[in-house]
Structure 1
């Protein structure tokens, strides 16, 4: 089974178990409004797999953010705050790795199952690197 297959289904981000999301989003240069909404919102994430195409839908407060991708194939991703990145996903050592290259910083995320939770560790490679951890529980 591929790593992504183990993610299939719906998850809810546990804001109380997340670490340094505010600092991470601020380092990306997102607006105060976007940062505030992100740290206070109840977010559900659904993973789907159809053939080689992986789709992730993040829903919060009546808004949805959809991305679809194929492993190893770069695409342009526009975040809700308007930042654009060239993004590539790959599987490595039982983890899903997301590489985002863009202005002003490059970012890497590692997504893995740990003790039944989906754990995403994000690192922004800024002059003062900043990271955050998001934990999700299956619905």
Structure 2
């Protein structure tokens, strides 16, 4: 797991704006997310992983254990039942919301890049965010 502790910087997006617009969020939150281009890092301490996103808007840190569902408190009071799975260099995050929507975030870590693929229920597209190490 050579990718642990490595900082990845946002490079470019594909189909990200339509994905954000499909979420049904207030206009100001949509605008903030469209401009959100964080650096990302994944670290491990024992059986707990910590994922950190660093941006001008502030840092966001989330700690989790693979395979264990937990309550994730998102912006503006949105909550999800979140589970992470890890298969080799691929970390998949599943966020289940009370309204039935499910968001899937697949992070594929490589020595020189991170590829983040975003899909969700009730939207037939796929968004991809690319990061460089």
Instruction: Give TM-score, length-normalised by structure 2.
Output: 0.85
Q: Map 1:65-104; keep pairs closer than 5 Å.
A: 65-92=60-87, 94-104=89-99
Task: Output the aligned Cα RMSD.
Answer: 2.1
1:56 aligned residue: 51
What SS does structure 1 have at the residue aligned with 2:14?
coil
Unmatched runs of 5 consecutive residues or more in structure 2 = none
Alignment match, 2:113: 117
Cα distance in 2, alignment partners of residues 42 and 92 from structure 1: 25
Match of 1:106 in 2: 102
Secondary structure at 1:130's aligned position in 2? coil
Moved over 6 A (4+): none
Q: CA deviation at 1:26?
A: 2.1
Q: Quick check: 2:15–2:128 contact (8 Å CA) kept in 1?
A: yes
Give TM-score, length-normalised by structure 1.
Answer: 0.81
Q: Matched residue of 1:108: which SS?
A: strand
Q: How does 1:119-134 map to 2 (within 5 A)?
A: 119-126=115-122, 128-134=123-129
How many residue pairs get aligned? The number is 132
Partners of 2:15 and 2:130 lie apart in 1 by 12
User: How far apart in 1 are the matches of 2:53 and 2:104?
Assistant: 18
What's the secondary structure of 2:75's corresponding residue?
coil
Quote the offset at 1:94 in angstroms: 4.1
Structure 1 residue runs of 5 or longer lacking an equivalent are none
Instruction: Say whether the 8 Å CA contact 2:3–2:111 is kept in structure 1.
Output: no
Residues 1:114 and 1:46: Cα distance change in structure 2 (over 3 Å) = closer
